[in-house]
Chain A
């Protein structure tokens, strides 16, 4: 399969009052906010995700579905940002859904574009990324965990992925596997959780963000038909979609940071006279957040730039998102004091969410490794 380079498209910044963002805000206020604590503890908000899909949150970066014929990553991020301000678990699932759509949009697979993509883009069907292990494999951090044998019309997959998010019955996810045999290579395809031989098990219990549909996946002779292949050869396909994949995550960070700043600001009347002794005051954080959003916005206008210099900037932006998330969340704790330490307090939840931004693939350590590798090349 040959990979075509899509037309690069510069998109003007969207207005914060645009219809799509207002619709997303409505869903967040009316449907998501009442569930935030429950989601943190383990409730999977499928109905919220579907409503966000209906509001258009998952199709903004898809030239084929947003009605503007541009790859408007910036608006997709703005929607994710709004969601993450309230609940980053849900923001994370918005990212997962955005990315599984991006996989298909960036492929040359017309079958998937016609059959599956419309359902994912509108939120009728949900899906996950499953690229944590492959991303780490490509960065030389761990081996690929799925292997496959090739048949005339497909691949038989075996192996285990430790944790993949935004899964459930009938969900789609992207899967990279090592093909053994006469023509060894790495291939990526779209797989459905309902297919025979695939088992999901909820093994781990996390300290937060439990309602993200995160499962271990066991593959035993799972047959993947060739009309579900996304990338073969894999590397040119991944190169094309990687900047978008990484950039799309930054909406979680900017939303979380915004939420933390609001907590600091809300504590000002009560604690301003003593909070002024803290580092990272809300005005300083807001300045940093504004600059970060501006920088990310610039990168979004150039997502198909193949130069290593551009990828370096994308990785740096993602790293900044993590570092600033940790600082903002720490600041939210310190600014709100004991109130933030209460069991259901948003500050302590945001602290756990911030660590998630910093450790979800690509984690801070992973990003620093990749940046180091780019520096030596």
Chain B
């Protein structure tokens, strides 16, 4: 690089002594001083007198340039002063909202693998019954939301790696720097590798994209669906699909619907209500293999039975998305470990919120705790203290066949108690979960569901006892 180079101050063409200017008859290796005076710049035609050395030119110009790097003209994707949120679900957007309420100035970038549109995720399991298409569920586009909040949205972009030491991310569109990082990565349906040549066709429904795909498959005629897993999502989806005239076979390795969320008596009430609508339940059974057969599938079950079906959905339970965090060296358990006090992860500039987070050994997949977590993160980002409190998980099950309100016992007491019938009869009943003779959860059906608020208050007061006088 030490070759003497001379620059035309008019057009910027550079004379390199090693290369010469053979087109003008100047041989490679000719010193600039030795070039005849009648030679002219091959690009713009000015004379030799208009050339100076590149070093002199650079020194002249540098004095006229800015001392520090000017703010970039485009985009402002991330930056050292920016809060970068990864994930455009309810958790990610709620953090952006709460943070913007507290700090109108803070640069915020939200990166999402999809288009960032706003939709109520719980509505995915009741849209057919409500006669809504996937597009009807969208409340606002990501672009509109971002504009309203003054957030930079980097949509359709996947984050591939985090480097906490350098405070930057690698995304499919290049690197992004951050000041603080919020992980709102969500959860995924557990992946089980089934046998058979069509195993790759098994669907997992956990966002609008996958839901849209399901709806496209359900269009037209009545279908038969095999649903693996009779938990909350399995039961709600099954019921909703029957509302569209489809038939569903629900498989579960357990003995009843809703597993540990509900007592057997209430699970049985629900099954009785769903059966006439076209849901059949196979307890103690899962899928063994899925193969193509004509234009349909042949599902082999673990009990040796086989059935012809059109669509297979796996709903075997949610697993927090931890790979990115784990790869970055953050502390993870089942989820990304975050402190209840401020939702910081093991890196003090990185926070975790929503389905991906694990707080005191628990992950929360429901809207209310996610919103409260977002509040905690936004407060922490502004130097305030607003710890996340554990409330009882109160779930209104979206099964029109039978009104259900469930509050399963916390994992710390689930093995130290049992369900006890409390009141009611038939499809209107209340069953309490008692641990150490105290109320630790409940299951309400029919007319008893209106007692949920009252019972929640009892449970909250037990979790967070009022200060003693």
A-to-B contact residues, CB < 8 Å: 269-274, 276-277, 279-281, 284, 287-288, 291-292, 295, 308-309, 313, 316-317, 319-320, 323-324, 327, 337-339, 368, 371-372, 375-377
Contact = CB atoms under 8 A, between A and B. Distances in A.
Interface in B5-29: 7, 11-14
Given A272-B65, A273-B61, A291 B7 contact: no
Interface in B31-90: 54-55, 57-58, 61-62, 64-66, 69-70, 72-75
A287 B177 CA distance: 11
A376 B174 contact: no
19 contacts: A269-B55, A270-B7, A272-B61, A273-B64, A276-B70, A279-B75, A280-B174, A281-B69, A287-B175, A291-B161, A291-B163, A295-B160, A295-B170, A308-B191, A320-B174, A323-B173, A337-B12, A338-B11, A377-B203
A309 B69 contact: no
A276 B172 contact: no
A123 to B, nearest CB: 32
Contacts of A287: 168, 175
B330 to A, nearest CB: 17
Contacts of B54: 269-270
B436 to A, nearest CB: 42
B461 to A, nearest CB: 43
B210 interface: yes
Interface string B174-214: 11000000000000000100000000111110010110010
Contacts of B113: 375
B323 interface: yes
B172 A323 contact: yes
Given A279-B73, A376-B209, A319 B172 contact: yes
Per CB-CB distance, the 10 closest pairs between chain A and chain B, nearest first, are A273-B65, A273-B61, A288-B175, A269-B58, A376-B213, A376-B210, A291-B170, A319-B172, A288-B174, A320-B172
A269 B3 CA distance: 13
Nearest to B197: A235
B380 interface: no
* Interface residues on chain B, size class: 35 or more
Given A291-B175, A295-B170, A320-B174, A371 B158 contact: yes
Nearest to B175: A288
Contacts of B275: none
Interface of B: 7, 11-14, 54-55, 57-58, 61-62, 64-66, 69-70, 72-75, 113, 156, 158, 160-161, 163, 168, 170-175, 191, 200-204, 207, 209-210, 213, 323
Given A338-B12, A339-B13, 16 more contacts: A270-B54, A270-B57, A271-B12, A274-B61, A276-B66, A279-B75, A291-B161, A291-B163, A308-B191, A316-B160, A316-B172, A320-B172, A320-B173, A327-B174, A376-B213, A377-B200
Nearest to A328: B174
Given A270-B54, A291-B175, A376-B210, A279 B74 contact: yes
A324 B156 contact: no
A270 B58 contact: yes
A375 to B, nearest CB: 6
Contacts of A319: 158, 172
A276 B65 CA distance: 8
A347 to B, nearest CB: 14
Contacts of A284: 175
A375 B13 CA distance: 51
Contacts of B175: 284, 287-288, 291
Contacts of A292: 170
Contacts of B65: 272-274, 276
B256 to A, nearest CB: 29
A120 to B, nearest CB: 32
Contacts of A371: 158
A269 B57 CA distance: 8
B454 to A, nearest CB: 42
Contact of B160 (A274, A281, A309, A317): A317
A185 to B, nearest CB: 12
B18 to A, nearest CB: 14
A368 B156 contact: yes
Contact of A272 (B58, B75, B156, B201): B58
A108 to B, nearest CB: 20
Contacts of B58: 269-270, 272-273
For B61, B171, B172, B201, the residue with the greatest tally of chain A CB atoms inside 10 Å of its CB is: B172
B179 to A, nearest CB: 17
B72 A279 contact: yes
Given A273-B65, A287-B168, A327-B174, A375 B210 contact: yes
A277 B70 CA distance: 6
Contacts of A313: 160
A287 B161 CA distance: 13
A371 B210 CA distance: 12
Contacts of A274: 61, 65
For A274, A288, A368, the residue with the greatest tally of chain B CB atoms inside 10 Å of its CB is: A288
A229 B98 CA distance: 61
A271 B54 CA distance: 10
